[in-house]
A and B are shown apart, each in its own frame.
Chain A
Amino acid sequence: MLTRAAMALLLGATLVLAGGNELRFCLRADPKTFNPLLAEDEPSAAIVYLTGGVLIRLNRYTHELQGELATTWKVSENGRRIDFNLRRGVRFSDGTPFTCQDVAYTMRRLMDPALHSPAADSFRSGPGEEETKCTSPSSATVRFPAPVAALAAQFDQVAILSASSPKKESAVLGPFELGEYKPGAYVLLRRNPNYWKRDANGRPLPYLDSIRLEIQDNGDLELLRFRRGELDLINKLDPDKYDQLSSQMPHAVLDSGPSLDWEVIFFNQVQNAPLPDYKRRWFESTDFRRGISEAIRRQDIVRIVYHGHAHAAAGPVSVANHFWLNPALKPGSGSDTAALGLLERAGFHRAGSALLDSGGHKVEFSIITNAGNQQHERMLALIQQDLARLGIQLDIVVLDFPSLIERISRSFNYEAVLMAFTNVDLDPSSQMNIWMSSAANHQWNPNEKSPATAWEAEIDKWMQAQNASQDPRKRKADFDRVQQIASDQAPFIFLVNPDALSAVGPNVKNAAPAVLFPQAYWNAERLQVNGNLVSRR
């Protein structure tokens, strides 16, 4: 009897009741800001998604736009103007009523050049100022100086602020509000008592009482805690951890299919980069870039590096993005003969086991990638052997992330890079900052004063054309041309689109992970967690 009592006490010390209806998962870093208009990093974006109320929401599962704080909307004047009918009787988390003045205030703050809001870039399509008019407390008209592509969808990124609340950004319209933040430890979000939405049975949403976001940058610890039941979900898993978990908790893991993200290689084509002239000529040669692309065996990358949880990429649109995908594009064949054919056309030739250019220089270049990413290192080891078959020596250099960013964005002291690009939007307008030759993220040659090549000028033309049009079919045709040029010229060598892998614990109800951010908790307001005993040692 005494033994049983002692055991009960011991169990009592190590097992506690999981905090009611609380969802727990990890953020990889502290959020850099709680201002919804300044959120750029993923942790901040996660908090904005969970706390911010938006006029229009892109359903992450169906990819359709849904009215939230706007019951209806209408885009007119060729994408310059949008009229909203606003939901009535909605209150911010502090009880302040939501009106058209809040929309006007938010737009004014958003478009303030001094704020440098990353969300505002999508709305800046031409010189001039935006204007928001309130025709009544529940209707707003926003007019832009130039047409904005996919105008309605851009409002998915704009969390409405209160114009009159003394709590400023802390007054929110989303399903949760900020409860507590301990830097380096956790962010606690509490249920917004004034949230307007109800389920089909009239029950107020969200179902959860709170969400506890643990700050944890170590993926192994995250996995361990998930296994022990201390966490309810893992939003993004890498293929190794996915396989580890699937062997132990097969019902917890989910592969939602190819994500919108890219893994790409690009060569340095910056005019004043510190490169020898002969290497600059290689990197500026379309046939050289295409030859390298052709030699890479993407199916091996998918099979060996991603254990099948990725898809070979042919261009800038993932196969997950059905509407915008250009089906005419095919990934590189991985054929040595085809690759050598292209390289010979560019003036390269084999001499023994080495490949030489027309000036007799041995073809050898370095490729940099960020430390700590095993997928990148394995991919490069495979590519190193793929290129070695052609007589090309590839030097792999792993750098810490700040050094890598410094090289590709400031000193331009690099030859080639392997990088991952995270894409959060289905619409190609979100890629304007990559494809326009004047853009800062035009990675292979950023901030060009005028297009350096004829094909870049052509990409600029078609990107502007699709951005200015409101006709989806014309935009599709225009962006198909961009994809075709990108494939023909290979400024980016697209490797794979990794799958969106996540894990959801057995206690979580209504989870339906999607490929778009935030994958596993996009429907957080409808998630439920059963109260259960979990170990908290």
Chain B
Amino acid sequence: MNLQRRIAWTVLLAAVAASLAAGWLTHHSYAEQSRDFISAPPSSQFWLGTDELGRDRFARLLYGTRVSLLLAPAAAVLSTLIAALIGGAAGYLGGRWERAVTSGIDLFLSLPWLFLLLAVRALLPLDTSPLTSVAITFALLGCLGWAAPARIIRAGTRTLINSDYLVQAAASGIPRWRMFWRHLLPNLRPILLAQFWISVPLFILSEANLGLLGLGVSEPLPSWGALLRELENYSAVFQNPWMLAPVVLLVVVVSCLQLLLRTEERVPC
């Protein structure tokens, strides 16, 4: 493991650990409103100040990180699995199956999925708890995010199928399941991992975008998307630069994920 990978893993694990240890790191709840201390600057009581409702920004950042950093990888696993199944099958089977799946992917990518997200949010029972609602949002993002990776996985599978060593393996009479399990899947691993690492920041940002539309995580649960909404008031950001803490954390985490992705691509199969 090279130094860059180590740094990236350390930072990511530190972020996850801090978010899981939020209860020990701060005695404030993410929902508690100190109405006499609205928009307060950082102090010994509130390390990152308070938001416009008097809630501790540090507590909200920790709990928001927990929501975004745990659910985004889960959504990425889901979308990569769906993509692997659909893209892999299309590439492996080839012919009309491949053409049908490719057309299906193109159609899927051309649809305005934001409206589906809005519609599903509107159809959810109104007494859905904030936590369930955010889990459904990420699950939905995972279910909708498979199309672009599936196209890449299909192309990768096709290239592998046509490679000399697999043609030779097929000619030597190896059963199809063994060829798939022993030769194809291990060689698809870098592509699958790359798609996973690409999807994680994508889902974090998608949730942030939904948050900016006011349709992300319900109050009072924080998420990075909900925290980023505060930056709409950009004149306040200049006066209170500590409001940028979620952006800094988002950039650091996404950079670490990109770093892992790049180093992953260089790891020989």
Taking a contact as CB atoms under 8 Å apart, the answer to whether B214 and A364 are in contact is no
Is the interface on chain B under 10, 10 to 19, 20 to 34, or 35 or more residues? 20 to 34
Find the A residue at minimum CB distance from B54: A304
Taking a contact as CB atoms under 8 Å apart, the answer to whether B214 and A377 are in contact is yes
Q: Could you say which of A304, A377, A380, A414 contacts B35, with CB atoms under 8 Å apart?
A: A304
A378 at the interface (CB under 8 A from B): yes
Taking a contact as CB atoms under 8 Å apart, the answer to whether B126 and A220 are in contact is no
Instruction: Return B223 CB to nearest CB of chain A, in Å.
Output: 13
* Stretch from B73-81, B127-135, B151-159, B173-181 forming part of the interface with A: B127-135
B218 at the interface (CB under 8 A from A): yes
B183 at the interface (CB under 8 A from A): no
Instruction: Return B230 CB to nearest CB of chain A, in Å.
Output: 10
Contacts of A380 in B (CB 8 A): 219
A398 at the interface (CB under 8 A from B): yes
A453 at the interface (CB under 8 A from B): no
Contacts of A382 in B (CB 8 A): 33, 35, 53
Find the A residue at minimum CB distance from B55: A381
B118 at the interface (CB under 8 A from A): yes
* Stretch from A108-116, A152-160, A366-374 forming part of the interface with B: A366-374
Contacts of A378 in B (CB 8 A): 52-53
Instruction: Return B216 CB to nearest CB of chain A, in Å.
Output: 9
| Known contacts A366-B126, A395-B126; is-contact A384 B219 (Cβ 8 Å) | yes
Is the interface on chain A under 10, 10 to 19, 20 to 34, or 35 or more residues? 20 to 34
Instruction: Return A218 CB to nearest CB of chain B, in Å.
Output: 11
B109 at the interface (CB under 8 A from A): no
In the complex, A400 Cα to B122 Cα: how many Å? 7
Find the B residue at minimum CB distance from A244: B235
Q: Could you say which of B119, B122, B233 contacts A240, with CB atoms under 8 Å apart?
A: B233
Instruction: Return B224 CB to nearest CB of chain A, in Å.
Output: 17
Instruction: Return A241 CB to nearest CB of chain B, in Å.
Output: 9
Taking a contact as CB atoms under 8 Å apart, the answer to whether A414 and B126 are in contact is yes
B18 at the interface (CB under 8 A from A): no
B11 at the interface (CB under 8 A from A): no
Instruction: Return B35 CB to nearest CB of chain A, in Å.
Output: 6
- Please report which residues of chain A, range 283-302, place their CB below 8 angstroms from some CB of chain B when the two chains form the complex: 300
B23 at the interface (CB under 8 A from A): no
B116 at the interface (CB under 8 A from A): no
A423 at the interface (CB under 8 A from B): no
Find the B residue at minimum CB distance from A381: B219
Taking a contact as CB atoms under 8 Å apart, the answer to whether A399 and B121 are in contact is yes
Instruction: Return B237 CB to nearest CB of chain A, in Å.
Output: 11
Taking a contact as CB atoms under 8 Å apart, the answer to whether A373 and B53 are in contact is no
- Please report which residues of chain A, range 117-136, place their CB below 8 angstroms from some CB of chain B when the two chains form the complex: none
Q: A224-247 CB contact bits vs B (8 Å, 1 = yes)?
A: 000000000000000010001001
A477 at the interface (CB under 8 A from B): no
Find the B residue at minimum CB distance from A406: B122
B186 at the interface (CB under 8 A from A): no
Taking a contact as CB atoms under 8 Å apart, the answer to whether B38 and A304 are in contact is yes
Find the A residue at minimum CB distance from B39: A304
A415 at the interface (CB under 8 A from B): yes
Contacts of B229 in A (CB 8 A): 374
Taking a contact as CB atoms under 8 Å apart, the answer to whether A395 and B232 are in contact is no
Q: Could you say which of B129, B215, B236 contacts A395, with CB atoms under 8 Å apart?
A: B129
Instruction: Return A17 CB to nearest CB of chain B, in Å.
Output: 30
Contacts of B214 in A (CB 8 A): 371-374, 377, 398
Find the A residue at minimum CB distance from B133: A397
Find the B residue at minimum CB distance from A304: B38
Q: A397-425 CB contact bits vs B (8 Å, 1 = yes)?
A: 11110010000000001110000000000
Taking a contact as CB atoms under 8 Å apart, the answer to whether B233 and A244 are in contact is yes
Contacts of B119 in A (CB 8 A): 403
A396 at the interface (CB under 8 A from B): yes
B170 at the interface (CB under 8 A from A): no
Instruction: Return A419 CB to nearest CB of chain B, in Å.
Output: 15
In the complex, A364 Cα to B233 Cα: how many Å? 33
In the complex, A398 Cα to B232 Cα: how many Å? 18
| Known contacts A304-B35, A366-B127, A378-B52; is-contact A247 B235 (Cβ 8 Å) | yes
Instruction: Return A260 CB to nearest CB of chain B, in Å.
Output: 26
Which residues in A have some Cβ–Cβ distance to B below 8 Å? 220, 240, 244, 247-248, 300, 304, 364-366, 368, 371-374, 377-378, 380-382, 384-385, 395-400, 403, 413-415
A-B contact pairs, 7 of them (CB 8 A): A304-B53, A366-B126, A374-B232, A396-B218, A396-B219, A399-B121, A400-B215
Which residues in B have some Cβ–Cβ distance to A below 8 Å? 31, 33, 35, 38, 52-54, 118-119, 121-122, 126-130, 213-215, 218-220, 229, 232-233, 235-236
The 3 lowest CB-CB distance pairs between A and B, nearest first, are: A403-B122, A371-B214, A366-B126
